[in-house]
Amino acid sequence: MKVFGITGWKNSGKTTLTERLVSEITGRGISVSTIKHAHHSVDVDQPGKDSFRHRAAGAGEVILASAYRWAIMHELRGAEEPSVDELLAKLSPVDIVLIEGFKKNGHAKIEASVKPDRPLISLGDPSIKAVAAGHDVGPLAVPVLDINDIPAIADFILQEVGLG
């Protein structure tokens, strides 16, 4: 599987960019999965629901399944957060995995920046191969793409991973 990341500071446009890229790339007939990193507690479950009660009772993993989708919830219970490689190993094979977040990991990334409120991460991170910006970022050592030109950003990513 090919891997490419979308990184940036909080509220930099990462999720919107990732969503739009998934739509663009799958529209080209290329299969895509995503990994989304969160710095806060994440729960796809709701208190009082059966699967929540299973986890609360101590289950290490709970699969919630229906005719439409399934999800596996794995409780870390004090264990270390899994690495990107460990998470990638859990995915079914696809053409490309887009990873949102995990800015400190070494995989190739594009930085999203919708407003000039923070310094660009790309200035000190060689894993960032381009910046997708919604404002003037000045001259950079990496290509600068219009954050709203999703076909061009998709072209860039697919070329970078050898699917272009």
Tokens of 13: 């446009």
Tell me the pLDDT tens digit for each residue of 107-123.
999 999 999 989 999 99
Query: Using alpha carbons only, how large is the chain's radius of gyration in Å?
Result: 18
Provide mean pLDDT across the span 151-157.
98
pTM: 0.91
Name which of 88, 90, 57, 48 is nearest 71 in CA terms.
Answer: 90
Residue appearing with tokens 């991973």: 161
Percent of the chain with pLDDT over 70: 97
Query: Does pLDDT of 93 surpass 70?
Result: yes
Distance CA 127, CA 142 (A): 11
Residue appearing with tokens 């490419």: 4
Tell me the pLDDT tens digit for each residue of 32-48.
999 998 866 666 777 88
Distance CA 39, CA 157 (A): 25
Distance CA 114, CA 13 (A): 6
Show the domains of the chain with their CATH numbers: 2-41+81-161 (3.40.50.300)
With H, G, I as helix, E, B as strand and everything else as coil, classify residue 27. helix
